[in-house]
Structure 1
Amino acid sequence: MQMLHNQMIPMRDGIHLATDIYLPQGLEGPFPVVIERTPYDKSKPSRSEKQLDGQHISREQMAARFTAQGFAAIFQDCRGRYSSEGVFIKYTAEGEDGFDTLAWIVKQPWCNGKVGSMGLSYAAHTQLAMACLSPPGLCSMVLDSGGFANAYQCGIRQGGAFELKQATWAWRQAKESPAALADPQIREALEQEDIHHWFSRMPWQPGQSPLRHVPEYETYVLDQWAQGTFGSYWKKPGIYAEGHYERLPDIPVLFMSSWYDAYVSSTLANYAAFHNSSTRPQHLIMGPWLHGDRNISHSGDVEFGPNATFDGQVAKDWLSCRLDWFERSLKPASKILPASVSVFLMGGGSGAMDENGRLQHGGRWLHSSQWPLPGSQSQSLYLNVQRQLHPTSPTEADAHLDYYADPAEPVPTIGGALTSGAPVFVGGAFDQRERPDFFGTRGDNSPLAERSDVLSFQTEPLSEDLIVAGAVQIELWIDSDAPDTDFTAKLVDVYPPSADYPEGFAMNITDGIRRCRYRDSWEQPALMTPGERVKVLIEPFATCNLFKQGHRVRLDIASSNFPHFDVNPNSGEAEGQALRPQTAHNRVHLSRDFASRLILSVLPASAVPDC
């Protein structure tokens, strides 16, 4: 193959982006093109390319496979990253830069006018951003664990709260900024920052953060933090595909994510948008993994079994899958496969501890032509004053449970559907205990459910298996003595005590949050009147889990999940400010007229073979 290294492609504002181009040799062109745009250095192997044996495939090895099959392969550094010119402002330039890049590509003599795009995480965000502008030549995409449907609701903020993975990501990536690479003193200053200490000093302010050494990184993070209201800031193509779906090209797309990924809701929303409007087949794959870890069969302290990996189960391997996808979607002699959905149903395992100390939760792949899966039904479980989840609505005229939410002592994050939190926090499935290796815990291994600022509600031991597959919602009637506060909800699969787990195992399945000032409107926040009874809706990510017979379904209600989300000071101050933090006295109503409930998408066992 022929390599054209660091070709500088011009953008509309005069900035040039460094691009490596690999062309087939010995084959007659012009060729279809496959491109990946990345902020993580086009010359290094992507973490997306980790094989089942743990080895990474280099960019050159990938290009060799693509060019051997008659594709031109292109890898590009995003604006302001590595060899590209310009200033990096996270997400917002990717639409126009992607458009301009494709406009340049289709004019080259070696391109036949057909372009496919691929990439994980940020490299998925770059794809959907440019797709919203209908760039010339775009004929196919592979969106892997990313692509913002609405970053205000998934990826940057969620339920009104700020996702603090943006802070840890910025601190790590600032070390690879042009300023840090050019000046060893800046990089060393960033390395010397104690990020754990800074997480104890939140919220950050201009010049008072570990990002102050690279001001453009500090600026964009603090802007994201402060922009609490859903306004024009959040409606740009790079982070708000929902507002631009009508402009999307009618093309086949392969969507992939996983139940413990940070982009579950974005992936499912984007899949639904393409599925409902496109004439071309759409494919969806949802595994049980952490972000992009498709060939690792465990998540946190939970093992899903050898059939949980992508390679050898869903397809031969991920690279071969994409080659086949682009062969079918970019070459006229091939035909795209019909629409398909492959989702991993977690659960059904022995519950024993394996040789690596992980809970054997198990699971298997389900295959369909659509999502939500056919046959799914809505089922409500009501919260009652006995701390039960019960299928019947409460009958008490006045019933409630109270707790105090102190922003100085937030409920700690123990795993979940998140990414990029290292070295402060991690995602995945864990027994919900205050282990000393999790940031912000009391370190005594006590159950989170025993905290005085957590309300736990659970079913009786299940008399039969329960399959939850799809959306999860929690409707709470609440009041507070604070002008603003948060309510969080966590769905938990509770294993009964066993020889390996004498106290059982409380496995987190999915969780969500709602900032009360946005209870009625994302565009027009309204503070609460102390004591006023209001309804809040919490929408955790969808999931797909089998709660086995003998297990319990549990719902934990609290007012913080830190450091996954920023802590609400309960004072009603502007987002990103906490000059007057106060403890909130929060109440959840559980009465006949103000019934709080958990709403699950349940799949009858008859709809799933061998269940």
Structure 2
Amino acid sequence: MRSPATSLSVLSLLASVVAGCGAPAANTPTPRVAFAAPPPLVASELADDAAVARAISEHYVKYEQEIPMRDGVKLFTAFYVPRDQTRKYPILLHRTPYSVRPYGVDAYPPASDFRALRRFAPSSRFVREGYIFVHQDVRGRMMSGGDFVDVRPGKTGNGAKDIDESTDAYDTIDWLVKHVPANNGRVGVWGISYPGFYAAQAAVGAHPALKAVSPQAPVTDWFRGDDFHHNGALFLADAFGFYASFGKPRPKPTKQSKWGFDYDAGDLYEFFLAMGPVANANDKYFKREIAFWNDLVEHGALDAFWQARDPRPRYKDVKPAVMTVGGWFDAEDLWGALETYRAIEKQSPGAENVLVMGPWSHGGWARTEGDHLGDVTFHAKTSDFYRDRIEFPFFQRHLSGRPGAAPPEAWIFETGTNVWASYDAWP
């Protein structure tokens, strides 16, 4: 492992020495290859949510489509294409179990919907640059057809109609590059938390057009370390609170999602004391209507049910570049970020595999400035640095068709010293 953040200055000095020793004669032409970048789609800076929302509605046309999968199931997909069709744009895909709202070709994310804007793109720089933004309700959720399976295991057969989340991503990308106007044939996938799981699955048996993937705080293993179990111990408040809303049955496609649970107690501690054993949750509240809660209660040990839902053994021969992102203070999916990076590094040694770890809570890099956490200050806007210096260049390098500097193996924010360090190897 090399010393962090030193190689750039050494190379710059060496380049200047070499340039001075071997300067061409005055009359000798210097061959050059010009890579003129087109101007941004949106000329002005996007300083706030109102500006971002306005840019989306003014510079993008929205479409909605039910995209067919190999087994005949159709997945509801919304995509936003730049109105300027004089050039081609990369595609950025976001697959989610949470809803692609707002629904309707005339409905654009409003400035008042903080969550919708944060899901629209990794940052406002992508909106300004000009991308084709694609959002899809995953199989069995919201407006998509089929049956939903939590952290769906990889397919066990190779039949023409055998499916999993990797094949759904493949079929979606195949349709997009063939049908969406003005695309340049290059696709990236990103997502935070549960959408991070779907992003990682897209890298398995990836479509040739998929060039860059960024699983961010990716759900990885719900028994060993993410969300509902930490080292096998049930994270009761997290699991109960999430599935009380997310786990409600969806008998048919819907545009409505209802979140929230009336605990009817002074605090959660009193609520769970009164509930008693975990098994009482079904008798008192869920009435066995929430499928994954039933599975969670039934499988209290690391058995075949959980092992089938561990995606790490599938991260073999990964072709797209991968940038996994995590937060040191993420109470939900810190484990998943580190383990996703580690699994790809071990099983796909030829892949461009980058790790980014910053001083954030769950998804904090996308929704906060990252300059503090509670009373702890970091003396810098770490999220701005990440979005501008790490995330945007990563996707641009692989999707724009223009050259860019290769990233280090790892970008790590060191708390205490409060500096970003880059490493050629990790750990």
TM over 0.5: yes
Q: Which residue of 1 aligns with 2:168?
A: 97
Judged with a 3 Å threshold, the aligned counterparts in structure 2 of structure 1 residues 223 and 23 are, in CA distance, closer, same or farther, namely same
- Check conservation: 2:139, 2:147, Cα contact below 8 A: yes
* Cα distance between partner residues in 1 of 2:100 and 2:71: 22
Where does structure 2 lack aligned partners over 5 or more consecutive residues? 1-58, 104-108, 153-163
Q: Which residue of 2 aligns with 1:85?
A: 145
* Cα distance between partner residues in 2 of 1:272 and 1:370: 12
Judged with a 3 Å threshold, the aligned counterparts in structure 2 of structure 1 residues 85 and 340 are, in CA distance, closer, same or farther, namely same
* Cα distance between partner residues in 2 of 1:250 and 1:40: 28
- Check conservation: 1:304, 1:346, Cα contact below 8 A: no
Q: Which residue of 2 aligns with 1:391?
A: none
1:175-229: per-residue Cα shift (whole Å, max 9, x none)? 7x64699799x969x744548425642313584253338x2xx221221332244
Question: What's the offset of the Cα at 1:23?
Answer: 1.7
Instruction: Find the partner of 2:276 among 201, 204, 212.
Output: 201
Instruction: Find the partner of 1:172 among 242, 245, 250.
Output: 245
Q: Which residue of 1 aligns with 2:377?
A: 304
Q: Which residue of 1 aligns with 2:13?
A: none
Considering fraction of residues, name the structure with more helix. Answer: 2
Determine which structure has more spread, i.e. the larger CA radius of gyration.
1
Q: 1:592-607 maps to which residues of 2 (within 5 A)?
A: none
Secondary structure of 1:40 counterpart: coil
Question: What's the offset of the Cα at 1:315?
Answer: 4.8
- Check conservation: 1:250, 1:278, Cα contact below 8 A: no
* Cα distance between partner residues in 1 of 2:117 and 2:254: 28
* Cα distance between partner residues in 2 of 1:44 and 1:183: 9
Secondary structure of 2:245 counterpart: helix
Judged with a 3 Å threshold, the aligned counterparts in structure 2 of structure 1 residues 275 and 28 are, in CA distance, closer, same or farther, namely farther
Q: Which residue of 2 aligns with 1:6?
A: 64
- Check conservation: 1:21, 1:73, Cα contact below 8 A: yes
For 1:86, give the aligned amino acid. Answer: G
- Check conservation: 2:241, 2:261, Cα contact below 8 A: no
Q: Which residue of 1 aligns with 2:26?
A: none
* Cα distance between partner residues in 1 of 2:129 and 2:377: 35
* Cα distance between partner residues in 1 of 2:94 and 2:263: 32
Q: Which residue of 2 aligns with 1:540?
A: none
Q: Which residue of 2 aligns with 1:288?
A: 359
Q: Which residue of 2 aligns with 1:152?
A: 223
Judged with a 3 Å threshold, the aligned counterparts in structure 2 of structure 1 residues 241 and 173 are, in CA distance, closer, same or farther, namely closer
Q: Which residue of 1 aligns with 2:315?
A: 245
Q: Which residue of 1 aligns with 2:4?
A: none
Q: 1:37-436 maps to which residues of 2 (within 5 A)?
A: 37-43=95-101, 57=117, 66=126, 69-92=129-152, 94-108=165-179, 110=181, 111-148=183-220, 150-155=221-226, 156-164=228-236, 165-174=238-247, 178=250, 191-194=261-264, 196=268, 197-198=271-272, 200-204=275-279, 207-212=282-287, 215=289, 218-236=290-308, 239-247=309-317, 249-261=318-330, 262-276=332-346, 277-294=348-365, 295-299=369-373, 301-307=374-380, 309-311=382-384, 313-316=385-388, 321-347=390-416, 363-372=418-427
Judged with a 3 Å threshold, the aligned counterparts in structure 2 of structure 1 residues 205 and 17 are, in CA distance, closer, same or farther, namely farther
- Check conservation: 2:189, 2:202, Cα contact below 8 A: no
For 1:256, give the aligned amino acid. Answer: V
Cα RMSD (Å) of the superposition? 3.8
- Check conservation: 1:66, 1:72, Cα contact below 8 A: no
Judged with a 3 Å threshold, the aligned counterparts in structure 2 of structure 1 residues 56 and 265 are, in CA distance, closer, same or farther, namely same
Where does structure 1 lack aligned partners over 5 or more consecutive residues? 349-362, 373-611
Question: What's the offset of the Cα at 1:136?
Answer: 4.5
For 1:88, give the aligned amino acid. Answer: F
Q: Which residue of 1 aligns with 2:77?
A: 19
Q: 1:427-506 maps to which residues of 2 (within 5 A)?
A: none
For 1:143, give the aligned amino acid. Answer: P
Determine which structure has greater relative contact order: mean sequence separation of CA pairs < 8 Å that are 6+ residues apart, divided by chain length.
Answer: 2
Question: What's the offset of the Cα at 1:291?
Answer: 0.5
- Check conservation: 1:206, 1:219, Cα contact below 8 A: no
* Cα distance between partner residues in 2 of 1:178 and 1:226: 22
Secondary structure of 2:178 counterpart: coil
- Check conservation: 2:143, 2:254, Cα contact below 8 A: no
- Check conservation: 1:287, 1:308, Cα contact below 8 A: no
- Check conservation: 2:89, 2:184, Cα contact below 8 A: yes
Question: What's the offset of the Cα at 1:77?
Answer: 1.6
* Cα distance between partner residues in 2 of 1:169 and 1:219: 13
Question: What's the offset of the Cα at 1:334?
Answer: 1.9
Question: What's the offset of the Cα at 1:127?
Answer: 1.1
Question: What's the offset of the Cα at 1:112?
Answer: 4.1
Judged with a 3 Å threshold, the aligned counterparts in structure 2 of structure 1 residues 209 and 122 are, in CA distance, closer, same or farther, namely farther
Judged with a 3 Å threshold, the aligned counterparts in structure 2 of structure 1 residues 269 and 64 are, in CA distance, closer, same or farther, namely closer
Question: What's the offset of the Cα at 1:145?
Answer: 1.1
| Equivalenced residues, count | 337
Question: What's the offset of the Cα at 1:115?
Answer: 1.4
Q: Which residue of 1 aligns with 2:37?
A: none
Judged with a 3 Å threshold, the aligned counterparts in structure 2 of structure 1 residues 205 and 219 are, in CA distance, closer, same or farther, namely farther
* Cα distance between partner residues in 2 of 1:183 and 1:285: 35
Secondary structure of 2:359 counterpart: strand
Q: Which residue of 2 aligns with 1:505?
A: none
Question: What's the offset of the Cα at 1:293?
Answer: 1.4
- Check conservation: 1:181, 1:187, Cα contact below 8 A: no
Judged with a 3 Å threshold, the aligned counterparts in structure 2 of structure 1 residues 192 and 55 are, in CA distance, closer, same or farther, namely closer
Secondary structure of 1:316 counterpart: helix
Secondary structure of 2:191 counterpart: strand
For 2:364, give the aligned amino acid. Answer: D
Q: Which residue of 2 aligns with 1:601?
A: none
Judged with a 3 Å threshold, the aligned counterparts in structure 2 of structure 1 residues 62 and 241 are, in CA distance, closer, same or farther, namely closer
Question: What's the offset of the Cα at 1:172?
Answer: 3.0
- Check conservation: 1:118, 1:142, Cα contact below 8 A: yes
Question: What's the offset of the Cα at 1:288?
Answer: 1.9
Question: What's the offset of the Cα at 1:96?
Answer: 3.7
Considering fraction of residues, name the structure with more strand. Answer: 1
1:133-159: per-residue Cα shift (whole Å, max 9, x none)? 4344221111211141x4432224332
